[in-house]
Amino acid sequence: MRDSTRPSTTSSASRLLALLGLAVAGAVSAATAVGVYVATDPPRRWARAGVPSPSPESASAGQFRVLSGLLDSLVAPLGTAQTLDSARLSAFVALTGDASLKRSWIAEPRTPVPPRTVVSSTELSLYRAWARSAPLPAFWGYRPGFGAPADMHQLPIRRHSVLTALRRANAADADSALARGDVSDALLRARENLAGARHLIDQPFAIDVMIGKAQIKESAKLLGRVARQANDPALAGAADRLQVLNESFSPLPPLGPAPLLRAARDPASDSLVRLALDTSMHPARRLQLAEMQVFGACFNPREMLFGVRAERRAGLGRLFVALGDIPRAGELEAAFRGTFDLADGESPRARPPRYRGLGEQLLEVVLPDGITARMRWCRRVA
């Protein structure tokens, strides 16, 4: 009698373990979805505050065109922009970019880079030449291949502190000119700072656009100070409009990432591909659709349990085809595909994240490596 019950007991235990694994995968997926929804879904916050939700188009192509047009009109008095020669462009990229700064969350040894607060006269001259140059192409600040990153979190990022130090040094010269009554020289420096920001706000990386927005914000304040001392109401009005347009424009999805991530839950869906075909959208917003396609797996319990499906990988390929009009965007596809390896590749125990809660450490004791890897992978989204 005892022997005859063993098969059923083993079968029951197997079913129990399978159900436990499915429950854990569903719970992780649901927790990720809830975290993203609650933290990033503006319509719910707007509704609670009694504010009507703006349409997705209200902060997109039209706003950027108006902002870009105003910037062009403000920097036009600098004269005909000349193409920056490759030597000086390379020098500026080396000055403002740092491949050792990564978007990685893995606890890997890194040498901290102290923020720049002082710039030399040579660096300031290079900044002014860069600012006054003709419009630069997409990804101008990154070398070919982007340093061959293993995944999208290993892509290099720009050194914000250097650009800030350069802008502040130029603004300090403008304030010195105002102090001695030289309004024309102060206005020249203010226009240079705005021209530099213009090279950033049209870039496909959202982080570059956000740096450009920060540059515009401070440069518009400087322009307002110059306008007040020059007693120029028209210029003061332009500075105020620039502030308003800059605050209202964002390269991020207007309703937050949650709706896009929910749309990416189905690995076979082409909804994000259709959105990416809209060339009127800002290139940074279009490129973020590729990120949504990658991390949509976190909303799919089956993929959390068994790994990223082939349909999702194929959809990523179609999405990069849709982004083909953005120069050099194709160079990023390998890095985005490499991100999938973090969910299905080596044991996550070899490279733990910097921070792990007690609950996560306990789960690691019972969960297979694959689910543990995907759980950590999805923490980057939530």
Q: Is 299 exposed, middle or buried (0-12, 13-18, 19+ CB in 10 A)?
A: buried
Q: Is 282 exposed, middle or buried (0-12, 13-18, 19+ CB in 10 A)?
A: buried
Residue range 31-50, pLDDT digits in tens: 444 344 333 444 443 343 33
pLDDT at site 105: 40
The larger pLDDT score, comparing residue 119 to residue 8, is at 119
For tokens 């424009």, name the residue.
249
φ, ψ of residue 113 in degrees (nearest 5): -105, 115
Would you tell me how many other CB atoms lie within 10 Å of the CB of residue 138? 17
Could you tell me if residue 23 is inside a domain? no
Between 73 and 14, name the one with better pLDDT: 73
Q: Do 32 and 70 fall into the same domain?
A: no
Single-letter residue type at 148 = A
Given a cut of 60, whether residue 6 has pLDDT beyond it is no
Distance CA 315, CA 319 (A): 6
Q: For residue range 350-377, list pLDDT tens digits in order.
A: 455 555 566 666 666 667 777 777 777 7
Q: Which among 248, 274, 309 is the end of a domain?
A: 248
Same domain as 228, residue 297:
no
- Domains in the chain, number: 2
Cβ atoms within 10 Å, residue 67: 21
The band of 106, judged by pLDDT with boundaries at 50, 70 and 90, is: very low
What is the reported pLDDT for 338? 87
The reply to whether 5 falls in a domain is no
Please tell me the distance from the alpha carbon of residue 176 to that of residue 170, in angstroms, as a whole number. Answer: 10
Average pLDDT of the chain, as a whole number: 79
Angstrom distance (rounded) from CA 1 to CA 265:
49
The predicted pLDDT at position 375 comes to 77
Across the strands, what pairs with 158? 97
Query: φ and ψ at 198, to 5 degrees?
Result: -60, -30
Mean pLDDT confidence for 143-149: 85
Integer Cα distance of 174 and 131 in angstroms = 15
Range of the domain at 121: 60-148+156-248
Q: Is 60 exceeded by the pLDDT of residue 212?
A: yes
10-24, 75-89, 194-208, 319-333: range with lowest mean pLDDT: 10-24
Query: Is 32 in the same domain as 80?
Result: no
Q: Which residue has the higher pLDDT, 26 or 216?
A: 216
| Dihedral pair phi/psi, residue 231, rounded to 5° | 55, 50
Share of the chain above pLDDT 90, in %: 48
Same domain, yes or no: 205 and 141: yes
Q: Which residue has the higher pLDDT, 258 or 314?
A: 314
Q: Evaluate whether residue 123 is within a structural domain.
A: yes
Q: What crossing angle do the helices spanning 283-295 and 206-230 adopt, rounded to 10°?
A: 150
pTM to 2 decimal places: 0.78
Q: Is the domain of 131 the same as that of 35?
A: no
Residue 321 has pLDDT above 90, yes or no: yes
Instruction: Give dist(CA 342, CA 20) in Å, integer.
Output: 23
Residues 133, 212, single domain; the answer is yes
The answer to whether residues 34 and 94 belong to one domain is: no
Measured over the CA atoms of residue 80, residue 86, residue 92 and residue 98, the dihedral's sign is positive
- On whether both 201 and 65 belong to a single domain, the answer is yes
pLDDT tens digits, one per residue of 264-301: 889 989 999 999 999 999 999 999 999 999 888 888 88
Strands 97-98 and 157-158, sheet pairing: antiparallel
10 Å CB burial of residue 222 (0-12, 13-18, 19+) is buried
Q: How many CB atoms lie within 10 A of CB 259?
A: 17
Domain assignment present for residue 314? The answer is: yes
CA–CA gap between residue 357 and residue 226 (Å, rounded): 52
Are 138 and 205 part of one and the same domain? yes
> Is 303 within a domain?
yes
Residue ending a domain, choose from 248, 273, 300? 248
Tally Cβ neighbours within 10 Å of residue 216.
27
214 confidence band (pLDDT: 50, 70, 90): very high
Tell whether 237 and 118 lie within a shared domain: yes
Identify the residue with better confidence: 295 or 237.
237
Query: Lowest-confidence range among 78-82, 88-92, 158-162, 368-372?
Result: 368-372
> Which tokens belong to 134?
């003709």
Q: Shortest CA distance to 333 belongs to which of 208, 158, 146?
A: 146
d(CA 352, CA 330) in angstroms, rounded, equals: 31
Planar angle of CA 101, 106, 111, nearest 5 degrees:
40
Statement to judge: residues 262 and 228 lie in one domain: no
Last residue of a domain, one of 204, 220, 248: 248
- Give CA–CA dist 209/8, Å, rounded: 61
Lowest mean pLDDT among 123-127, 231-235, 344-348: 344-348
> What are phi and psi for residue 159, nearest 5 degrees?
-85, 100
Residues 244 and 133 occupy one common structural domain: yes
